[in-house]
Chain A
Amino acid sequence: MPRVADDPKWTDPGLLVMGSLADGPRHGYAMVRDVEETTGVRLGPGTLYGAIARLESRGLIEAVDSEDTRRRPYRLTARGVEVLEHQLAGMQRFAGLGRRRLAHHTPILRGAS
C-alpha cells in the first residue's frame, strides 16, 4: 500500500494532473485542456508546474524523452499508477458510502421536490 505522505489531497491539483495522465502521456498545455474539459477546473500555469514538480520529485510522474523541451510530455510511473488507484478507490468508497447515507436520510427532501 502506498505511503500516506505520497497521497495527493482530493483537491490537490496533483490529483487532477495524475488523473489526466492516466489517459496517457501529455504535455502541460494538453493537461490544462484535458482537466478543464473533464472537470471544469482551470489549472493556472504556476499551479500546474508546481504540481508537476512535486509529483516528479516524489517519483509519481516522469518526463518522457522528447526533442521538444518546450512541450515535454509526462507520464505516470508505476508508483504513480499505484498511488492514483489507491486514491481513486478511496474516493469511490467514500462516494458510495455518501450516496447510501443520502438515500437513507433524504426521502423527505425528495418528496418535497
Chain B
Amino acid sequence: MNGPTRLQRALVGAYPPSFRHRYGDELASLVADTDTRWSDNIDLALGVCRAWVTPVFGGAAIEQRRSRLQSTTVTVLAAWCASVVAAAGFSKAVDDPPLRALHGTALTAYDSGTIVVEVTAAAVLLTGFVFWLAVIVPALRAKRRDVVVPALAPALIVGAWLGITGLVALFAHHDVPRSGLALTWPRGALVLAVFIAWVVATVAGVAGCAASAAVALRRARLQVAWLAASTVFAVLVAIGITAQAAVSVTCLVSLSRAGGGLDPRSAVFSTGSVVIVVTVTLTAAVSVTRGLRGLRSGPAAPPTPTT
C-alpha cells in the first residue's frame, strides 16, 4: 500500500461531479488501500471516460433524477457556450471582411444563422437570469458563500473579458491605425501573439462561466421542479444549437462550392467553427435525450435535505 499517486488523485478528481460526490471518497480510499499497478491507472482513466460519456447516477431515486436533470442542463449550457464561441469564429472567418462568395444561399444561411444565434442567446440570457435569481437569492439569505461565489463568478469573468478585449482593441488600433477599434487579422509576430492570447482568454472565460454556473447549480440543490423546467428549456436551446449547426454547414458548403469562395485562412477558421458546433450539437442531443427520460420518470418531488 503506497497510497495514491498524484496521477491517481488527478484521475479520481477527473470523474464527473455527481459521480465524485457519490463515490469519490470510496474510490480514493480503494486506490489508497490497493497495491496499485500501471494497469490500474489505465483502468481509472477508462472509468473516467465511461463516467462522462455514459453517466450513471447512484443514490436514491430522487437523487438519481435530480442528477440526471442537472447533468442535462449543465451539458446543454456548456454546449451553448461552445456554440457561441464557434459562431464568433465563423463570423470572423467569413464576414470580417465579407468574402466575395458570401451571397445567394451562403448569405441567406449566414443571415439565418446570425438570427438563430442571437435569438438563442437572448433566450438563454433572459431565462438564465431567472434561474440565477433562483440560485443566488436563497443563497444570499442563507449566507451560503459556497453558492454565491460561483454564482457571481460569470459576471466577474465577463467584466474581466470586456476589459481585456478593450485593451486588445486599443492595441490593434495602435498597431494597425487604419483598422479602427475592431480586431483585425494578425499581421506580424506581436499582433499574432496578442490575438492568440485573446482567443485563449476568450475560450478560458467561456469555459469558466459554464463551469462556475454548473458548480453553483449543483451546490444550490434547486427543487426538482426547477430542474425539470431547466431541462425543458435545455431542449429548446439544443434545438437552437442544432439549427445553428445546420445553417453553418449549409453556409460553409455553399461558400466552398462558389468560385474563389474560401481562402486557406477562412477555410481553416470556418471549418473549425463548424466542426465545433456540430460536435456540441451531437453532445447536446444525446444529453437532452437522456434528460427527457429523466423528465418522464415521475412527478416533481420536494428537495432532500442538504447534508
Contact = CB atoms under 8 A, between A and B. Distances in A.
B29 A54 contact: no
Interface in A32-54: 32, 44-50, 52-54
Contacts of A47: 43, 46-47
Interface string A57-100: 10000000000011110000000000000000000000000000
A8 interface: no
A70 B39 contact: no
B30 A32 contact: yes
Given A29-B29, A29-B33, A48-B30, A57 B56 contact: yes
Contacts of A71: 26, 29
Nearest to B50: A50
Interface string B17-44: 0010011011111110110000110111
* Interface of A (DSSP majority class): helix
Q: How large is the interface on B (under 10, 10 to 19, 20 to 34, 35 or more residues)?
A: 20 to 34
B301 to A, nearest CB: 17
B46 to A, nearest CB: 6
A28 interface: yes
A69 B26 contact: yes
B51 interface: yes
A49 B27 contact: yes
Interface stretch (B57-65, B180-188, B267-275): B57-65
B58 A53 contact: yes
Contacts of B27: 28, 45, 49
Nearest to B29: A70
A56 interface: yes
A56 B23 CA distance: 11
Given A49-B27, A53-B22, A72-B26, A44 B59 contact: no
B45 interface: yes
Contacts of B26: 27-28, 49, 69-72
A33 to B, nearest CB: 9
B51 A50 contact: yes
A50 B57 CA distance: 10
Give the 8 A-B residue pairs with the shortest CB-CB distance, closest first. Answer: A46-B47, A44-B43, A70-B29, A53-B56, A28-B30, A46-B44, A56-B58, A46-B43
Interface of A: 27-29, 32, 44-50, 52-54, 56-57, 69-72
Given A46-B48, A49-B27, 11 more contacts: A29-B29, A44-B39, A46-B46, A48-B30, A49-B30, A52-B58, A53-B23, A53-B58, A57-B64, A70-B26, A72-B26
